[in-house]
C-alpha cells in the first residue's frame, strides 16, 4: 500500500501531536468510568468481603485510575544551605537559653 494524500490524511487524524489529546485514551477512560459507575454497588460488596490488607491494596490499585500519579522528588542541599527553624516559646522555656 502506497502513501497517498488520502492515507496521509488518515494517518494525520490518528497521529499524536503536542497538545492534542488521544481520542482512544479518552474514550477508554470514559468507558471505564461508566463501567465502574454501573457496578459501584457490586464493587463495594466485593471490597467488603476482602481481608483488610487486600482491601487496601485493591483501593490503591483503583486509585491509580482516578488520582494523578505523582513523581518523587529529591531535595539536594548542603549543610551551608540548611537554616534551622528556632521556636522560642517564652522565657525559661527555650532549652538553649542561658539560665
Could you state, in chain order, the average pLDDT of each consecutive group of 10 residues for the chain (99 residues)?
76 65 79 88 93 93 80 78 77 59
Please tell me the predicted confidence (pLDDT) of residue 52. Answer: 92
Please tell me the predicted confidence (pLDDT) of residue 56. Answer: 93
Please tell me the predicted confidence (pLDDT) of residue 24. Answer: 79
Tell me the CA distances in angstroms from 39 to 23, 36, 47, 63, one per residue in order.
24, 5, 12, 16
Please list the alpha-helical segments (H only) found in the chain.
5-14, 23-38, 40-49, 52-63
Amino acid at each position: 500500500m502506497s502513501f497517498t494524500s488520502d492515507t496521509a490524511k488518515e494517518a494525520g487524524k490518528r497521529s499524536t501531536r503536542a497538545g492534542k489529546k488521544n481520542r482512544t485514551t479518552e474514550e477508554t477512560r470514559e468507558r471505564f468510568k461508566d463501567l465502574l459507575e454501573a457496578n459501584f454497588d457490586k464493587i463495594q460488596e466485593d471490597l467488603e468481603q476482602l481481608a483488610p490488607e487486600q482491601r487496601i491494596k485493591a483501593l490503591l490499585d483503583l486509585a491509580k485510575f482516578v488520582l494523578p500519579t505523582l513523581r518523587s522528588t529529591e531535595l539536594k542541599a548542603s549543610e551551608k544551605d540548611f537554616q534551622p527553624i528556632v521556636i522560642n516559646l517564652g522565657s525559661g522555656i527555650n532549652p538553649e537559653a542561658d539560665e
